[in-house]
Amino acid sequence: MADILSEFPMPKVIENMAEELKKIKESSAAYATDIDALQSMFNAIDLTTLNTTDSEKSVAAFVERVNQFAVDYPDLKNVGGICVYPVFAPVLKSVLKQPDVFRAVVAACFPSSQTFVDIKCAEVKEAVQKGANEVDIVISVGEMLAGNYDFVREEVEQLNNAATPARLKVILETGSLETPENIWKASILAMSAGADMIKTSTGKNGVGATPEAAFVMCQAIKAFNEKKHRKVGFKPAGGVRTVEDACFYYSIVRTVLGDEWSGPKMFRIGASGLANALLNQILKVKTGKKQSVKYF
């Protein structure tokens, strides 16, 4: 099955990505004052709570902030999704009143992905049955690094089947994969196994998103769409906290993939800390005055 990799040789543009990223970075600054771009970024946020101290009560209150946002800021688009542990899928289903906000869970032994495949599938399936319409899973990074590509692809395929009809977001944990070659291969394997979106990182292993990883993944998405005619979404996550960061990643997506990769189905960005930063920037651009709102 890993013969799929031979269909997708890594393009030469990745060898020169430092130069490409420098240009993209320079042009990204303009998005910080572009109200449409800022609202697009805000609408791409996965508002996330993944704490040991989470409870039904705290998650319900977290979700209610998203409901209330629609009341307090009716002229703004809401966040793209809310992401919680799988046990709180029923809370998302019962409390969330915004139909355009995805109900996402992390599953399949997140963040390590180190357990039996049947247990991973069972957790994914139950989370979907109880209300999730998006599931974030992590590839088996150790097997990927060991070159066990068939295993990695087949496991993602099984998890994709278990998640149906929900959308599957596949986390590559790019900080552990380290090299552009590994990130490229993992991207192709995940997409060929049915991923609806590929995501850089969990944010739980100390290394989050990087522009280099984002560039490689977006090039892989572009190549996959050109050959297989299927659009796969992209999400940078882990350490994306500032408006400047968001603008850079947004610019990478727009430059490599184009305007069609907009809206929360095709572009998502993490995480909760970024929501307030983008909201304040939107309000600043709208009013001309510096804002310090801490909404989420």
List residues with catalytic annotation: 136, 199, 235
What is the token pair recorded at 108? 């399949």
| Tokens describing residue 71 | 């009341």
Tokens, residue 21: 């990223």
Which residues contact residue 116 at a Cβ distance below 8 angstroms, ignoring those fewer than 6 apart?
none
> Do the Cβ atoms of 160 and 189 come closer than 8 Å?
no
Backbone angles phi, psi at 135, to 5 degrees: -130, 130
Q: How are beta strands 102-106 and 233-235 bridged, if at all? A: unpaired
Structure tokens at 101: 């906000």
Strand partners, 45: 269
